Amino acid sequence: MDVTGYLARLGLDPEPPSLAALRRLHAAHVERVPYEALEVQLGRPTPLDPAASLARILRGRGGYCYHLNGAFSALLHALGYRVTRHLGGVQGSAADAPNVDRNHLALTVTGLPDAPETAWLADTGLGDGPHEPLPLREGTYVQGPHTYRLRPSAVAPGGWRFEHDPSGSFTGMDFAPGVAEMADFAAKHAWLSSAPESGFVRVCVLQRRDAAGVDTLRALTLDRHGAKELIESPGDWWAAAGDVYGIPAALFTDEERERLWRRCVAQHEAHVGGKGSEVVPSA
């Protein structure tokens, strides 16, 4: 665990565990390490090992929940925090019944010196989820433009349910109370990375959270809370990847950049039913 390099990636200095320090770590992580699955779009498997996820983060990349929370939990542990990984389940729409189907790795932190009686949901892998940790107490919490709700889970006794703001990209997430190991997510990770039905396969999505809101790039549409911009060239797409999400185009070969662009064009045209046909891939 390269703690020094990880903290440098987050723009932070080392400090002892505390609630304020945890908030700084969490906020910096969701602001600087993007939620993305570009490796899935390129058809490349990614390991679950937090060390491998950290190596990719240190190169300027991100990942989805298994990578982001896997690496973040390892960092917290190295810094002296009492952090636990949990089996979770994210529901993408109201039509999805609450569940804990292992499509999400959730994190909690306990035993903070200045808040010893409170457990915290510290989840950097929810895309447009919380900017800072949430106390595991039933109630409503406002962060920026989003209002969240926490309550005991109805499907995981002893666990919790996070309900997203109605404007969020998913409806909710339940997680179980027990301790999970990274290997517990291997089968679901393989499915999410390769199955044609997987959302990570079907649509290229990048997200970055800050205190005021969320930047989402879905195929060719860059969206900041309804302020949408259609990206019409591969140069502009990679400029957005770098400027908004901190992903340097130089990390990808010319062929990989072209392949990602063509996939995003196809996904956009499928979404708009052909109305996006004026967006032509580069030669």
Q: So what's the pLDDT on residue 252?
A: 96
Q: How far apart are CA 217 and CA 230, in angstroms?
A: 10
> Which position has the higher pLDDT, 25 or 224?
25
Quickly state the pLDDT bin for 208 (edges 50, 70, 90): very high
DSSP state at residue 115: B
Q: What three-state secondary structure class fits 28?
A: helix
Q: So what's the pLDDT on residue 277?
A: 34
Whether residue 230 is predicted with pLDDT greater than 70 in this model: the reply is: yes
- Beta carbons of 94 and 72 less than 8 angstroms apart: no
Residues 6+ apart with CB under 8 A from 166: none
Whether residue 10 is predicted with pLDDT greater than 50 in this model: the reply is: yes
Residues in the chain: 283
Residues 6+ apart with CB under 8 A from 100: 87, 88, 89, 153, 155, 156, 159, 174, 175, 176
Q: So what's the pLDDT on residue 282?
A: 27
Q: So what's the pLDDT on residue 271?
A: 83
Q: Regarding the domain delimited by 197-272, which CATH topology (the fold level of the hierarchy) does it fall under?
A: Arylamine N-acetyltransferase fold (3.30.2140)
Quickly state the pLDDT bin for 45 (edges 50, 70, 90): confident
pLDDT tens sequence across 129-140: 999 999 999 999
Whether residue 260 is predicted with pLDDT greater than 70 in this model: the reply is: yes
Closest Cα to residue 109, out of 156, 77, 157? 77
Mean per-residue pLDDT for 181-206? 95
Q: What three-state secondary structure class fits 172?
A: strand
| ∠ CA 12-18-19, rounded to 5° | 95
Displacement of CA 254 from its chain's centroid (Å)? 26
pLDDT tens sequence across 137-174: 999 999 999 999 999 999 999 999 999 999 899 999 99
Q: How far apart are CA 171 and CA 164, in angstroms?
A: 5
Q: How far apart are CA 103 and CA 189, in angstroms?
A: 7
Quickly state the pLDDT bin for 95 (edges 50, 70, 90): confident
Whether residue 102 is predicted with pLDDT greater than 90 in this model: the reply is: yes
DSSP state at residue 127: S
Whether residue 281 is predicted with pLDDT greater than 60 in this model: the reply is: no
Q: How many helices (H) and strands (E) does the chain have?
A: 9, 13
Q: How many CB atoms lie within 10 A of CB 67?
A: 29
Q: Which of 158-162, 216-220, 233-237, 272-276 has the lowest mean pLDDT?
A: 272-276
Q: So what's the pLDDT on residue 275?
A: 46
Whether residue 274 is predicted with pLDDT greater than 50 in this model: the reply is: no
Query: Which amino acid would we find at residue 73?
Result: S
Mean per-residue pLDDT for 198-223? 95
Q: How far apart are CA 69 and CA 61, in angstroms?
A: 14
Domain positions in the chain: 197-272
Q: What is the 3-state secondary structure (H, E, C) of 51-64?
A: HHHHHHHHCCCCEC
Rounded to the nearest integer, the mean pLDDT of the chain is 93
Q: So what's the pLDDT on residue 1?
A: 84
